[in-house]
Amino acid sequence: MNFRMNVMNIFFVSDKAILAGDLTKNMGSEAQGLAVVKMDGKEVARIFVEGEVFDNTKEISVWTKATPELRQFDIHGHAVVLESIH
């Protein structure tokens, strides 16, 4: 596993999607690369994580290009996980 995130929020800035949550990654590595998005255990999308986003919180978010597929998700009330694909 390169990285895994329990996604708590997803928001959009211009053409980018920001996924925020609890990120776990290998020591010294950056969360970047192909990943699968699962909602309630079911695969709902495959994305390319472009990189990490740092803000004023202790959490690290990740970003990707916003796709129509991502824009349709309502993650509230669902268990959403982002996992890297090896």
Delimit the domains of the chain by residue range: 3-84
Strand order in the sheet with 51-54: 42-49, 33-39, 80-84, 3-13, 16-25, 60-65, 51-54
CATH of 3-84, one of 1.20.80, 2.60.40, 1.10.10, 2.40.30: 2.40.30
3-state secondary structure of 70: helix
d(CA 17, CA 41): 21
Give percent of the chain above pLDDT 70.
97
Residue 27: the pLDDT is 67
Confidence category of residue 1, pLDDT binned at 50, 70, 90: low
**This prediction's pTM:** 0.85
pLDDT tens per residue, range 43-74: 999 999 999 988 777 778 999 998 877 777 78
CB distance 62 to 53 below 8 Å = yes
d(CA 75, CA 72): 9
